[in-house]
Amino acid sequence: MSRYKNIMTLDEFTIQQLRLFPHATGELSGLLRGIGLAAKQVNHEVNRAGIADILGAAGAVNVQGEEVQKLDVYANNVFIEVLRSGINCAGIVSEENEEAVIFDDTRSNASKYILLMDPIDGSGNIDINISIGSIFSVYRRLSPIGQPATLEDFLQKGIKQVAAGYVIYGSSTMLVYATRRGVNGFTLDNSIGEFYLSHPGLKIPARGKFYSFDNCYYNQVAPEIRRYVDYCMSVEENKTGPYSNRYYGCMVADTHRNLLKGGIFFYPAVAGKPDGKLRLCYECNPMAFITEVAGGKATNGRERILDIQPRHIHQRSPLFIGSEEMMEEVHQFMK
Ligand code: AHG
Ligand code: MN
Ligand code: MN
């Protein structure tokens, strides 16, 4: 007897979803299968991190001026090569590539989707065996099918996402993805290399116990944000604040915890970084889409993230994201 009675695999689930749409072509399921395959390859490498020669810096600096880790390079190549050899993606924008990677071959030009990704989020955690993630965002292209994808295809508002998701390489590896229909989480059974539906229909609690903010920026943020942080942790003597602090240095891990348990994550403008640190197109938008479908909210402090028109593929944005009531609370402080 199967050890997973009534549990669906990622592939079965996406095909089942497809059947709900009589005109669906199966391309999105195929693309998600490709992402799952790439994630399994990256996961395999992450699990061998201590023994394989993949710890540490690659000796380069990326377009953001940040030190690139070997695993950043590895994961970037894996996602690009898996999706290039598939038939469901016309091109990729990645944190690790200055320009969009347009596949431009007959097979890829015939596909209707493009992808944006952060191949490894939380790279600083690789060497110390703490959770890291991969983030992805899928759009229907604007350019005509049959032609190579264009830059314009990648510069769509987040609200236009067809699907978005992340992989968390944590104490277990999970793939969580959202379409307009809902957010579902799949846990990888390493022994047979299959993702199983473990968290169907995820909904984010309206509030939770944690706030995630890098407190080292306390003196570099706007006074209203400082007041909000004071409130979160309570600066009054003999009083604890309403929330505890959790900050993993990996937005995927912090957002994943908030999605399951409720909470808020914010990376606002800080001195010298007027747009914060996180990238709109492949960090903020996909996480905002997932969170909104799950019933939460995501803004840059004023505007909804998903309504921002991107001007540059690597542009940054302040980000406030999480449980609905906690988001309302932080907005009260910023009024
Ligand atoms: P990446 O590893 O893709 O560069 O992203 C790391 C991001 C995010 O995941 C995390 O929350 C943040 O950087 C941490 O930055 P600080 O060290 O400035 O808090
Ligand atoms: Mn990142
Ligand atoms: Mn990254």
Mention every residue, 6+ apart, whose C-beta is less than 8 A from residue 141: 90, 112, 113, 114, 149, 153
| CATH T-level assignment (fold) for domain 210-334 | D-Maltodextrin-Binding Protein; domain 2 (3.40.190)
pLDDT in single tens digits along all 335 residues of the chain = 566 667 899 999 999 988 888 888 899 999 999 999 999 999 999 888 666 666 667 677 777 667 677 899 999 999 999 999 999 999 999 999 999 999 999 999 999 999 999 999 999 898 888 999 999 999 999 999 999 999 999 999 999 999 999 999 999 999 999 999 999 999 999 999 999 999 999 999 999 999 999 999 999 999 999 999 999 998 777 777 899 999 999 999 999 999 999 999 999 999 999 999 999 999 999 999 999 999 999 999 999 999 999 999 999 999 999 999 999 999 999 98
**Which of 126, 213, 214 to mutate to test ligand 1, by most ligand atoms within 8 A of the CB atom?**
214
Tell me if 45 sits within 8 A of 58, measured CB to CB: no
pLDDT of residue 20: 86
Tell me if 163 sits within 8 A of 178, measured CB to CB: yes
CA 208 – CA 37 distance, rounded (Å): 33
Asked whether 249 lines ligand 1 (CB < 6 A), one says: yes
> So where are the chain's domains?
10-199, 210-334
CA 304 – CA 64 distance, rounded (Å): 24
Mention every residue, 6+ apart, whose C-beta is less than 8 A from residue 207: 262, 323, 324, 325, 326
Percentage of the chain modeled with pLDDT above 90: 83
pLDDT of residue 235: 76
**Which of 251, 254, 275 to mutate to test ligand 1, by most ligand atoms within 8 A of the CB atom?**
251
pLDDT of residue 93: 98
Angle among Cα 169, 171, 176 to the nearest 5 degrees reads 45
| 177 Cα: distance to centroid of ligand 3 (angstroms) | 18
Asked whether 71 lines ligand 1 (CB < 6 A), one says: no
pLDDT of residue 89: 97
| Ligand 1 atom closest to 124 (CA) | 2
HSE-up of 123 (CA within 13 Å, CB side)? 23
Asked whether 301 lines ligand 1 (CB < 6 A), one says: no
| 241 Cα: distance to centroid of ligand 1 (angstroms) | 25
- For 253-288, b/e burial (b = at least 16 CB within 10 A) is bbbbbbbbebbbbbbbbbeeeebbbbbbbbbbbbbb
Q: What is the pLDDT of residues 78-132, one digit of tens each?
A: 999 999 999 999 999 999 999 999 999 999 999 999 999 999 999 989 888 899 9
In 19-162, DSSP assigns E strands to 57-61, 67-69, 91-94, 101-102, 113-121, 132-140
Asked whether 66 lines ligand 1 (CB < 6 A), one says: yes
| 7 Cα: distance to centroid of ligand 2 (angstroms) | 31
pLDDT of residue 23: 85
On average, the pLDDT of the chain sits at: 93
Asked whether 189 lines ligand 1 (CB < 6 A), one says: no
| CATH T-level assignment (fold) for domain 10-199 | Fructose-1,6-Bisphosphatase; Chain A, domain 1 (3.30.540)
Burial of residue 97, with CB atoms counted within 10 A of its CB: 0-12 exposed, 13-18 middle, 19 or more buried: middle
Residue nearest to atom 14 of ligand 1 (CA): 249
